[in-house]
């Protein structure tokens, strides 16, 4: 027998009576709202001086859970015990103990080459919390069905879970509504969709598309492909010696033939945070639309597409502690409606005859066939997870950890930082004298430390700075100062 959320025990109290349900005649959980007990628990975590009776129960403050859409409690995840390794005590992130966060990620307890895993390859992919893993398992066990049009219970459950995830994405990035969110396989597919469904029909020979030297290959190759087909020209905004966009040079690229701009928010190779709000404003001043590649920003800082005034924004679920093979494309309503369908098939049609087809409006017109339903639901769970901690809190912690890492590695003789932008996120790229990058990566792997070596699918920016490849550790909010110390110590051993 399934227990409803309103009947489930609170993680914060043994008292099963919800004051709000008694006093006001409704269950806040039924509307996706926190109960009085939950609000009190969150308040106790942030303001323990006002809740002395809870001050001794620090373990009761944090319980990120993911509740399935059918309102059962089957998706609740019990907190797991964790052993804190010797060293400096772990901090809290916005009142959430870091050891609690780390205990939610099964991969962080792995041993690699007989050593504890130190996962510093977060720019390539992030690890997943147990809550996300369990939410996907719950979907397949209790909700699995195709979405929309089904007249049975599982179809309704699956549709609610899928569309609920769309709502979570919209809210998380500040989109006006659910209809602005298209599910895609990831940022790469989102960029290809924008290029082919919206931009390509606008292009004539000699028209121009603006990119920057910071771009990942996924934000270069699709534009090259449609440029080859249409005769359009790519123009590239330069960076300075530190890897920072030269805004004045970017502005000079605009002219009457400029048709579109596609820019990264954060460089995956060197961590530069691009001044996207200013760049969007400049483009809009010329009447030009802009797509932002948010693959590397989405997990490291708050994102509000409405405040940025982005026309399109793409990101991948696996970069924000969610599943592989799922991501989201945000588009303003007018650009999504004017874009043509990209793929044809079921789900994206309203009516079909052999003479003509009538398409659904966005977002469904871009979601042909059976989508990646379970992983969309998993992405929603990942968003729940980071939202419970707070993106502002995550950004503050990561900023301090990144600065610590830059300082620790910067003191190593023979180590050269690649990219020195004042505003950076997550990634630290470097090369080491007399050591090839792959040898450094293997040496670190022997110590249990996972970093990325090579060109990081961003050859133009590395070549602009004079390199064919680098060693790239990249942090996430579950990384620790002790892990950075270990990284610096092992790199120092190679530098001797």
Question: What residues are labeled active site?
Answer: 457
Rounded Cα distance between 310 and 222, Å, is 19
Tokens (6 digits) for 480: 């620790």
Q: Are 158 and 91 in contact (CB under 8 A)?
A: no
Task: Give the residue among 187, 365, 217 at the shortest CA–CA distance from 292.
Answer: 187
Rounded Cα distance between 24 and 196, Å, is 52
Look at the alpha carbons of 54, 59, 61, 63 in this order and tell me if their dihedral is positive or negative: negative
Query: 205: exposed, middle or buried (C-beta count within 10 Å: 0-12, 13-18, 19+)?
Result: exposed
Rounded Cα distance between 385 and 461, Å, is 33
Q: Are 180 and 336 in contact (CB under 8 A)?
A: yes
Eight-class DSSP state of 220: T
Rounded Cα distance between 355 and 333, Å, is 28
Alpha helices in 217-347 (DSSP H): 221-230, 247-252, 276-285, 305-308, 333-338
The number of beta carbons lying within 10 Å of the beta carbon of residue 235 is 17
Rounded Cα distance between 487 and 366, Å, is 44
Across 4-82, where does the E strand assignment appear? none
């Amino acid at each position: 027998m399934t227990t409803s959320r309103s009947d489930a025990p609170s993680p914060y109290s043994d008292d099963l009576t919800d004051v709000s349900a008694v006093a006001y005649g409704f269950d806040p959980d039924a509307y996706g709202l926190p109960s009085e007990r939950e609000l009190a628990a969150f308040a106790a975590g942030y303001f323990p001086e006002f809740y002395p009776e809870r001050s001794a129960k620090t373990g009761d403050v944090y319980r990120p859970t993911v509740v399935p859409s059918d309102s059962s409690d089957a998706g609740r995840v019990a907190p797991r015990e964790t052993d804190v390794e010797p060293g400096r005590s772990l901090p809290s992130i916005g009142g959430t103990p870091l050891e609690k966060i780390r205990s939610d990620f099964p991969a962080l307890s792995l041993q690699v080459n007989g050593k504890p895993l130190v996962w510093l390859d977060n720019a390539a992919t992030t690890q997943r919390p147990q809550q996300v893993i369990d939410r996907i398992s719950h979907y397949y066990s209790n909700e699995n069905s195709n979405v929309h049009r089904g007249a049975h219970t599982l179809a309704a459950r699956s549709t609610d879970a899928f569309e609920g995830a769309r709502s979570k994405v919209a809210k998380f990035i500040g989109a006006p509504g659910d209809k602005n969110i298209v599910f895609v396989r990831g940022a790469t597919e989102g960029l290809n969709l924008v290029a082919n469904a919206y931009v390509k029909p606008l292009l004539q020979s000699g028209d121009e598309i603006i990119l920057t030297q910071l771009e990942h290959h996924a934000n270069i190759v699709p534009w090259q492909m449609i440029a080859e087909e249409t005769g359009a020209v790519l123009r590239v905004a330069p960076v300075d010696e530190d890897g920072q966009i030269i805004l004045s040079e970017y502005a000079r690229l605009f002219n009457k033939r400029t048709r579109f701009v596609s820019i990264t928010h954060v460089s995956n190779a060197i961590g530069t945070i691009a001044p996207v709000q200013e760049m969007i404003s400049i483009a809009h001043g010329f009447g030009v639309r802009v797509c932002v590649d948010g693959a590397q920003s989405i997990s490291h800082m708050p994102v509000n597409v409405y405040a940025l005034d982005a026309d399109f924004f793409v990101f991948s679920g696996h970069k924000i502690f969610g599943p592989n093979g799922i991501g989201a494309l945000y588009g303003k309503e007018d650009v999504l409606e004017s874009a043509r369908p990209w793929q044809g098939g079921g789900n994206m049609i309203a009516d079909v005859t052999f003479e003509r087809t009538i398409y659904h409006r966005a977002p469904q017109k871009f979601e042909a066939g059976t989508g990646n339903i379970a992983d969309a639901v998993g992405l929603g769970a990942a968003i729940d997870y980071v939202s419970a901690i707070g993106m502002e809190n995550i950004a503050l912690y990561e900023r301090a950890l990144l600065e610590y890492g830059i300082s620790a590695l910067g003191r190593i003789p023979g180590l050269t930082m690649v990219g020195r932008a004042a505003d950076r996120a997550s990634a630290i790229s470097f090369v080491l004298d007399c050591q090839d990058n792959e040898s450094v990566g293997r040496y670190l792997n022997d110590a249990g430390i996972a970093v990325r070596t090579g060109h990081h699918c961003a050859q133009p920016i590395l070549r602009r700075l004079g390199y064919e490849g680098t060693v790239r550790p990249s942090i996430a909010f579950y990384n620790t100062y002790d892990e950075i110390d270990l990284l610096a110590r092992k790199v120092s051993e190679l530098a001797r």
